[in-house]
Amino acid sequence: MAFECYKCGKPLSETFKIMVSRSDTCPHCRADLRCCKMCQFYDPKSYNECRESQADRIVEKEKANFCDYYKFGSGGNDAEKQRQDALAKAAALFKK
């Protein structure tokens, strides 16, 4: 799975899957990568916008942070893409 920056949408290097430091930024737009919006647990529809129930509340979702539960991902984009794919597949079933 290719990861994209939450801010500019451009693809990110595979090396970020291994480890993301607090100072890492997107090489294209310089957005912080170790932030809530780039975490697998980020979900704008969840309480505190995070699916990890034990994580501390972080107000600034686009700023680098020290969350112990951070896992590099494409944040809420994964869930939205999966939902749109499922809807497209369902719609394809009913086409003539």
Q: Model pTM?
A: 0.73
Q: Which of 33, 23, 29, 14 is nearest to 71 (CA)?
A: 33
φ, ψ of residue 42 to 5 degrees: the values are -65, 130
pLDDT of residue 9: 87
Q: How confident is the model over 41-54, as a mean pLDDT?
A: 91
20 assigned to some structural domain = yes
Compare 14 and 36 and report the one with higher pLDDT: 36
When divided into structural domains, the chain yields a total of 1
pLDDT of residue 57: 93
6 assigned to some structural domain = no
Of the chain, the percentage scoring pLDDT greater than 70 comes to 89
Neighbours of 90 (CB within 10 A): 9
Domain containing residue 87: 14-93
CB distance 21 to 34 below 8 Å? yes
pLDDT tens per residue, range 10-29: 888 877 777 888 999 999 99
What is the C-alpha separation between 5 and 37, in angstroms, rounded?
A: 9
